[in-house]
């Protein structure tokens, strides 16, 4: 890759939300005592009347957001992914998704990205839980550039949206002109033999794997999925068309996440598929994010091995 610049997506998220909130006074940011981490602090610092500290009470925060939405506000609810989804699942289901309310749930520090805090703070289940809810849109921006487009797209949707954010610097793989469209996969690198399906932090791994695979004489296509739901099935099949096999790579459980969503799209015309992700287990602490990704098998090398098996 020529451009391996890394930028923090949550800083970009806070900037994007602030930008949006300046032009729309109905946007309200809520947080459960983690606004510095989630970067909703940018709203608190600059537009304090559009920020609500909700204390360490995620369930109340989500239902409060439902009430705000019922009175015309556009609430963005923030916490770590593991808490805002896990502690508030019932509130999201009953109070937000069932009545199809215009509430945005922002799950920050998702996946392994809160590496030091360990299993309690790491989230491999959030996409599965949010994806199963009718009316919910599930978005996981691939880099700090795309975050801005994702925030705008989420605000433009009149209904619930879950946005999954990584805590750490991520390689920039899109440009300002790259189009983001909800439901559509994005081709990151062309290839003929095998499709590598990625999102979030795994995009850079997929691109690195594709370069390594070239040396093995395998042409790998890298397709990014910043939308996990709703997926445009025709667009997904078309993005994978012509390749013989698929490898999905996600910083999430292999149960119920991106790999599952893609397999569902291909169920009528399946291709041999290998899913790489967290294999039905919990996380743990490490001093370094990369070390943890490696431990759980999320590396370019692991993708290369998987591709070689199915290619």
Q: Tell me the window of 5-13, 56-64, 213-221, 252-260 that interacts with another protein (CB under 8 A).
A: 56-64
Site for another protein in 84-113 (CB under 8 A): 90-91, 93-95, 98-99
**Which residues are within 8 A (CB) of 168 and not within 5 positions of it... i.e. 6 or more apart?**
8, 113, 115, 201, 289
- Written as six digits, the tokens of 52 are 């609500």
Shortest approach of another protein to residue 95 CB, angstroms? 5
Shortest approach of another protein to residue 43 CB, angstroms? 14
**How many CA atoms does the CB half-sphere of 222 hold within 13 Å?**
26
Is residue 171 involved in binding another protein (CB under 8 A)? no
Site for another protein in 18-37 (CB under 8 A): 28
Binding mask 180-199 for another protein (x = CB under 8 A): --------------------
Burial 79-97 (b: 16+ CB within 10 A, else e): bbbbbbbbbbbebbbebbb
- The one catalytic residue in 49, 58, 146, 268 is 58
Q: Which is nearer to another protein, 91 or 166 (CB)?
A: 91
Is residue 255 involved in binding another protein (CB under 8 A)? no
Shortest approach of another protein to residue 125 CB, angstroms? 20
- Written as six digits, the tokens of 221 are 């296509």
Of residues 96, 84, 75, the one with CA closest to residue 37: 84
The verdict on whether 58 is a catalytic residue reads yes
**Contacting residue, 9, 14, 75, 141, with another protein by CB under 8 A:** 75
Q: Is 239 helix (H, G, I), strand (E, B) or coil?
A: helix
Q: Is 139 helix (H, G, I), strand (E, B) or coil?
A: strand
DSSP bridge pairs for 78: 31, 106
**Residues binding another protein (CB under 8 A):** 28, 49, 52, 54-55, 57, 59-60, 62-73, 75, 90-91, 93-95, 98-99
């Amino acid at each position: 890759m020529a451009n391996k610049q890394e930028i923090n997506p949550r800083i970009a998220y806070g900037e994007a939300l602030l930008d949006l909130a300046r032009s729309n006074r109905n946007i309200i940011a809520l947080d459960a005592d983690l606004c510095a981490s989630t970067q909703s602090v940018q709203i608190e610092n600059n537009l304090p009347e559009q920020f609500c500290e909700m204390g360490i009470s995620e369930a109340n925060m989500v239902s409060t957001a439902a009430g705000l939405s019922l009175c015309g506000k556009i609430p963005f609810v923030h916490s770590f992914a593991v808490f805002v989804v896990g502690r508030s699942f019932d509130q999201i289901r009953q109070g937000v998704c069932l009545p199809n309310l215009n509430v945005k749930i922002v799950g920050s520090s998702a996946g392994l990205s809160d590496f030091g805090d360990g299993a309690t703070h790491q989230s491999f289940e959030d996409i599965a839980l949010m994806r199963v809810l009718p009316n919910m849109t599930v978005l996981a921006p691939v880099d700090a550039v795309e975050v801005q487009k994702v925030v705008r797209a989420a605000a433009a949707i009149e209904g619930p949206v879950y946005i999954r954010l990584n805590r750490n610097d991520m390689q920039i793989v899109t440009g300002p002109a790259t189009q983001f469209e909800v439901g559509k996969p994005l081709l990151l690198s062309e290839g003929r033999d095998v499709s590598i399906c990625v999102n979030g932090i795994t995009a850079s791994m997929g691109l690195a794997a594709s370069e390594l695979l070239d040396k093995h004489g395998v042409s790998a296509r890298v397709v990014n999925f910043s939308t996990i739901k709703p997926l445009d099935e025709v667009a997904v099949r078309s993005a994978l068309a012509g390749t013989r096999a698929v490898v999905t790579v996600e910083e999430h459980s292999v149960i119920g996440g991106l790999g599952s969503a893609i397999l569902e799209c291909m169920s009528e015309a399946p291709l041999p598929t290998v899913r790489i992700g967290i294999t039905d287990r919990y996380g743990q602490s490490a001093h370094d994010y990369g070390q943890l990704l490696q431990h759980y098998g999320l590396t370019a090398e692991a993708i290369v091995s998987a591709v070689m098996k199915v290619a």
